Structure 1
């Protein structure tokens, strides 16, 4: 994952950097042409199209 190594470098890889149960969920979903369709922050949907 693109965020695992930076999270590991600053010592927060036990909470951030992977998609897995118990991890903090900050995700953005895009269409094939990079339009944002969903954003999830701390496990809560904040943007949905």
Structure 2
């Protein structure tokens, strides 16, 4: 399975959100994912790493 490369904008948003809040609930994860065009699973894994 290929590794997903995040765009600069996606990375920026993920890092910004992570600084505000280390853990996201499922609805928060869904909302962030749709806002930056990723799946909720991709967001979850990014936060875990």
With structure 2 as the length reference, what TM-score do the two structures score? Answer: 0.25
Find the structure with the greater CA-based Rg: 1
Q: Return the structure number with greater helix share.
A: 2
With structure 1 as the length reference, what TM-score do the two structures score? Answer: 0.25
